[in-house]
């Protein structure tokens, strides 16, 4: 039995729901806000309206900018929030742009259930356990509680969707009565709110849902006033979602902003920080989509004239976007996962199976057994290179694989892959999960299934690659193949012709003639040591076998013999006569290749693949990639072969990326290969990496790559001059060129397009690094 250790960074948090409304229905929107007010983490749950036909959009910004389709913007919002589940009315049909979330979409009716036949209760953790904990720690036997509970009257919230979005709304009056009696909660009026300084030491019903949660504020305009029409449901939903993203917003309306002078002044002072003795930064006003530029200018001018805001008053003529605009590494709103109770956990796996315990919400006890919450698991194993717990996001196949291998849940309880981790659904005070092994090949198979491609099996070349890497020790051993002299010697010996050790050593040293180490050219001693290290590693991996060349006294033919093939006598390989072994002390040693390394096609192309895997391994900082060897797949009823697949992930960055590779020893791609790769790229949406041992790609291949890029396929090109770089070379290439792209794969795509296809083509396509 193989025993391994698995470590996890764990985050016990509320389940993040995205509420989906088919149309801008006021009553349905109020009911969703009411439901969110009763859930732990409810104020972090975004709301999406599917039908945007009646949305009003005003202002020169939207007239000048090429506006994206409404539903595309909603898809970007969901990608930014990365909700665990989508919740909508029964029968909700998602448009094609939102189909990646279809298997995680459930009915509003499912938010309540009766598991033991004693009355309906919330499926997910509600605010009652939180209020119980707050009472014990903050109010019971405390003369002066650290904060006060205040609420807006139910009738007022029902009459104004903005007030409901701002303060929260309970379904029944007895909820308010409970707050008044237990916590001495006070009713607050609109007029009373305007007299308060900001931030007042009070908590609202909606604010309670965020207790025991930590939400990272966006770096761009974390504090802002939001000018909106309180009767426009789309404006109110934008306000709700921006605040759910972590922003601190002060809602203003064109009718009442003059009455808000005190709170505007307090808000501005709180959100400002000094940028010099005479130049404090100021207040930002975000214009909702239905507000005109003239209305925004009126509010901005009044605040300036009245000096209600400290510092500058900056007008932002658009609602912040949730997606990236081409090159920038960050969006206007980068939404971090909600953090609850965090810890590190360690478990022991036996043959890949085991159990691991994480933290739990401290306010839950056995009475909350039927309440559900979520756990983020960032899992990593050591000395198990095939174990793969980082998988592509928003892929139905990967979600199904995880639901079977981690946590073993189904339906709303199913585990899934988030942008940052694996998410499991937990219940009550249970905080452990069971694990089954997930390999890189399984992950690739699941990903392909999720995009409609059938993974068949590992190919013969793939099986050979696995064995070659085993013989090398691991990908560290690829430095043997990074040396051009060793590759050339292997090719020369592919038919079994040996080479003297001395001649190979000289050839290796010549390749190190201009080599540098940390900025200085290698000395002769360092070249000798470098050559010896490479040849020793090649011998240990059986890339080269050491022996002698003997001449048979019977047939006079010369043959190479390994050390294991002779003692005091040997058998002639040509005529099989028994010969006496000559004295070897004055004979020259010879290298020969054998087994998998005696192949006229560079080990079935595996030298190129090993070098490509090694290159990506350094780019992704050693532990950031898992790989699957060459495999057969079926697409459009045709069976094809893919040379390798890489699952790349980066520490402290979201997303796991799929890179599929085509490796060549130097020949131009054949026409059928081109058609295969184009179809595969269009179907999967993954990165397609082209690798060659030649110093550069042919002009014909480059024209093909240009067309692939124009067709929207994400291409990476690695010629021999990159594949031959050692660790220091790759590190220097990475540090010298790394720009501000969103990910390593995206940077490589941009960089190799500039380097291989030329700066002129890159400029035409709007690509820079």
Strand, coil or helix: 336? coil
* 606-764 CATH: 3.40.1350
Average pLDDT over residues 595-618: 81
* Predicted local distance difference test score (pLDDT) of residue 569: 92
Check pLDDT > 90 for residue 699: yes
Lowest pLDDT segment from 273-277, 386-390, 630-634? 273-277
Compute the C-alpha angle 580/581/584, nearest 5°. 155
pLDDT tens figures, 211-254 = 999 988 887 778 899 999 999 999 999 999 999 999 999 999 99
* Predicted local distance difference test score (pLDDT) of residue 739: 66
Compute the C-alpha angle 661/665/671, nearest 5°. 65
Q: Express as a percent the part of the chain with pLDDT over 70.
A: 93
- For 79, 92, 147, 397, the CA distances from 245, given in Å and listed in that order, are 12, 24, 24, 28
Average pLDDT over residues 526-555: 89
* Predicted local distance difference test score (pLDDT) of residue 324: 61
Check pLDDT > 90 for residue 23: yes
Q: How far apart are CA 707 and CA 476, in angstroms?
A: 35
Average pLDDT over residues 542-564: 91
Check pLDDT > 80 for residue 269: no
Q: How many helices (H) and strands (E) does the chain have?
A: 26, 36
* Predicted local distance difference test score (pLDDT) of residue 440: 93
Residue 7: Cβ within 10 Å count: 14
Q: How far apart are CA 292 and CA 317, in angstroms?
A: 9
pLDDT tens figures, 295-354 = 999 999 998 887 666 668 889 999 998 876 544 445 678 888 999 999 999 999 898 899
Q: Find out whether 460 and 454 touch, Cβ atoms under 8 Å.
A: no
716: left (phi over 0), alpha (psi -120 to 50) or beta: beta
Looking at every residue in the chain, the average pLDDT score rounds to 88
CA-nearest of 152, 154, 189 to 170 is 154
Check pLDDT > 90 for residue 148: no
The residues with which 107 forms a beta bridge, in sequence order, are: 88
687-692 vs 656-664, strand pairing mode: parallel
Q: How far apart are CA 296 and CA 61, in angstroms?
A: 13
Q: Distance between alpha carbon 608 and the CA centroid of its chain, in Å? A: 27
* Predicted local distance difference test score (pLDDT) of residue 530: 85
* Predicted local distance difference test score (pLDDT) of residue 602: 56
Using the structure block, give the residue that is written with the tokens 């007010």.
37
Tell whether pTM > 0.75: yes
- Location of each CATH 3.40.1350 domain in the chain: 606-764
Q: Express as a percent the part of the chain with pLDDT over 90.
A: 56
* Predicted local distance difference test score (pLDDT) of residue 652: 60
* Predicted local distance difference test score (pLDDT) of residue 281: 60
Sheet with 625-628: strands ordered across = 625-628, 644-649, 656-664, 687-692, 714-718
What tokens were used for 728?
Answer: 């220091």
Q: Is the dihedral of CA 668, 674, 677, 682 positive or negative?
A: positive
Structural element, H or E, at residue 106? strand 105-107
* Predicted local distance difference test score (pLDDT) of residue 736: 77
What tokens were used for 87?
Answer: 């919740």
Q: How confident is the model at residue 681 (pLDDT cuts 50, 70, 90)?
A: very high
User: Torsions phi, psi of 134, nearest 5?
Assistant: -65, -40
Lowest pLDDT segment from 82-91, 322-331, 434-443? 322-331
Check pLDDT > 70 for residue 687: yes
Q: Find out whether 316 and 287 touch, Cβ atoms under 8 Å.
A: yes
CA-nearest of 313, 288, 318 to 303 is 313
What tokens were used for 497?
Answer: 């012709």
Average pLDDT over residues 562-587: 89
Check pLDDT > 90 for residue 46: yes
Q: How far apart are CA 769 and CA 757, in angstroms?
A: 14
Q: How confident is the model at residue 274 (pLDDT cuts 50, 70, 90)?
A: low
Comparing 222 with 163, the larger pLDDT belongs to 163
CA-nearest of 37, 106, 89, 80 to 425 is 106
CA-nearest of 241, 243, 244, 165 to 204 is 165
* Predicted local distance difference test score (pLDDT) of residue 667: 76
Q: How far apart are CA 505 and CA 485, in angstroms?
A: 9
Using the structure block, give the residue that is written with the tokens 């996001």.
393
Segment 100-105 long-range contacts (CB within 8 Å, at least 24 positions apart): 100/394, 100/395, 100/396, 101/18, 101/394, 103/396, 103/399, 104/399, 104/416, 105/20
Check pLDDT > 60 for residue 559: yes
What tokens were used for 750?
Answer: 């941009």
Q: How far apart are CA 561 and CA 590, in angstroms?
A: 9
Check pLDDT > 80 for residue 740: no
Q: Find out whether 493 and 592 touch, Cβ atoms under 8 Å.
A: yes
Q: How far apart are CA 716 and CA 748, in angstroms?
A: 6
Q: How far apart are CA 380 and CA 157, in angstroms?
A: 47
* Predicted local distance difference test score (pLDDT) of residue 386: 82
Compute the C-alpha angle 639/640/644, nearest 5°. 140
What DSSP assignment string belongs to 41-90?
A: TGGG--EEES--TT----SHHHHHS-PPPHHHHHHHHHHHH--SEEEEST
């Amino acid at each position: 039995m193989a025993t391994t250790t698995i470590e996890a960074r764990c985050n016990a948090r509320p389940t993040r729901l995205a509420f989906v409304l088919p149309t801008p229905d006021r009553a349905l929107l109020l009911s969703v806000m009411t439901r969110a007010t009763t859930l732990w983490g409810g104020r972090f749950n975004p709301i999406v309206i599917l039908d945007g036909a009646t949305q009003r959009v005003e202002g020169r910004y939207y007239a000048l900018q090429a506006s994206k389709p409404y539903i595309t913007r909603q898809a970007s919002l969901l990608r930014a929030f990365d909700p665990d589940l989508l919740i909508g009315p029964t029968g909700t049909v998602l448009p094609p742009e939102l189909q990646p979330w279809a298997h995680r979409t459930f009915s509003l009716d499912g938010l309540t259930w009766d598991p033991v036949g004693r009355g309906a209760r919330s499926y997910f953790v509600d605010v009652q356990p939180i209020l119980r904990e707050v009472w014990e720690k903050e109010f019971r036997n405390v003369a002066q509680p650290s904060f006060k509970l205040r609420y807006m009257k139910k009738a007022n919230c029902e009459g104004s969707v903005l007030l409901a979005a701002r303060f929260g709304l309970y379904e029944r009056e007895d909820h308010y009565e409970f707050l008044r009696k237990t916590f001495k909660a006070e009713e607050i009026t609109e007029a009373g709110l305007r007299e308060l300084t900001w931030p007042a030491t009070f908590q609202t019903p909606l604010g309670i849902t965020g207790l025991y949660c930590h939400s990272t504020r966006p770096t761009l305009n974390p504090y802002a006033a939001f000018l909106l029409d309180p009767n426009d449901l789309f404006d109110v939903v934008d306000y709700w979602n921006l605040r759910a993203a972590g922003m601190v917003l002060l809602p203003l309306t064109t009718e009442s902003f003059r009455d808000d002078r005190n709170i505007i002044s307090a808000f501005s002072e709180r959100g400002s920080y000094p940028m010099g003795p005479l130049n404090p930064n100021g207040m930002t006003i975000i214009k909702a989509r239905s507000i005109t530029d003239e209305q925004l200018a009126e509010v901005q001018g009044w605040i300036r004239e009245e000096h209600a805001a400290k510092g500058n008053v900056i007008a932002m003529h658009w609602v912040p976007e949730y997606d990236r605009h081409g090159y920038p590494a960050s969006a206007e709103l980068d939404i971090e996962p909600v953090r609850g109770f965090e810890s590190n956990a360690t478990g022991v796996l036996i043959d890949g199976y085991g159990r691991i315990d994480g933290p739990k919400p401290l306010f839950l006890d056995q009475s909350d057994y039927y309440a559900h919450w979520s756990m983020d698991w960032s899992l990593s194993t050591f000395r198990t290179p095939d174990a793969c717990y980082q998988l592509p996001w928003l892929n139905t196949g990967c979600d199904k694989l995880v639901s079977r291998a981690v946590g073993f849940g189904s339906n709303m309880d199913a585990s899934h892959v988030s942008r940052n981790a694996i998410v499991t659904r937990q219940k009550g005070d249970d905080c452990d999960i069971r694990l089954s092994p997930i390999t890189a090949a399984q992950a690739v198979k699941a990903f392909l299934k999720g995009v409609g491609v059938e993974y068949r099996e590992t190919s013969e070349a793939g099986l050979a690659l696995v064995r070659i890497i085993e013989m090398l020790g691991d990908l560290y051993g690829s430095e043997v193949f990074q040396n051009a002299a060793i590759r050339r010697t292997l090719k020369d010996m592919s038919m079994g012709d040996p080479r003297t050790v001395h001649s190979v050593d000289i050839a290796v040293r010549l390749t190190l003639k201009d080599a540098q180490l940390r900025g200085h050219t290698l000395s002769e001693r360092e070249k000798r040591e470098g050559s010896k290290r490479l040849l020793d590693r090649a011998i240990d991996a059986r890339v080269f076998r050491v022996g002698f060349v003997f001449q048979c006294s019977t047939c006079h033919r010369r043959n190479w013999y390994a050390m294991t093939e002779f003692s005091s006598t040997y058998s002639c390989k040509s005529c099989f006569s028994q010969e006496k072994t000559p004295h070897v002390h004055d004979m020259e040693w010879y290298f020969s290749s054998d087994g998998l390394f005696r192949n006229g096609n560079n080990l079935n192309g595996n030298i190129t693949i090993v070098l490509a895997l090694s290159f990506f391994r350094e780019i992704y900082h050693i532990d950031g990639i898992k790989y699957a060897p060459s495999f057969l797949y079926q697409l459009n009823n045709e069976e094809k072969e893919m040379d390798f697949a890489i699952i790349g992930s980066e520490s402290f960055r979201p997303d796991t990326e799929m890179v599929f590779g085509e490796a060549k020893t130097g020949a131009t791609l054949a026409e059928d290969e081109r058609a295969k790769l184009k179809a595969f790229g269009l179907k999967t949406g993954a990165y397609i990496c082209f690798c060659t041992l030649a110093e550069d790609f042919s002009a014909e291949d480059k024209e093909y790559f240009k067309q692939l890029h124009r067709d929207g396929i994400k291409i990476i090109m690695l010629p021999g001059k990159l594949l031959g770089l050692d660790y220091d070379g790759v590190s220097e290439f990475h540090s010298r060129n790394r720009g501000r792209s969103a990910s390593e794969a995206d940077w490589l795509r941009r960089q190799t397009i500039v380097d291989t296809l030329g700066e002129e083509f890159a400029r035409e396509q709007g690509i820079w690094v």
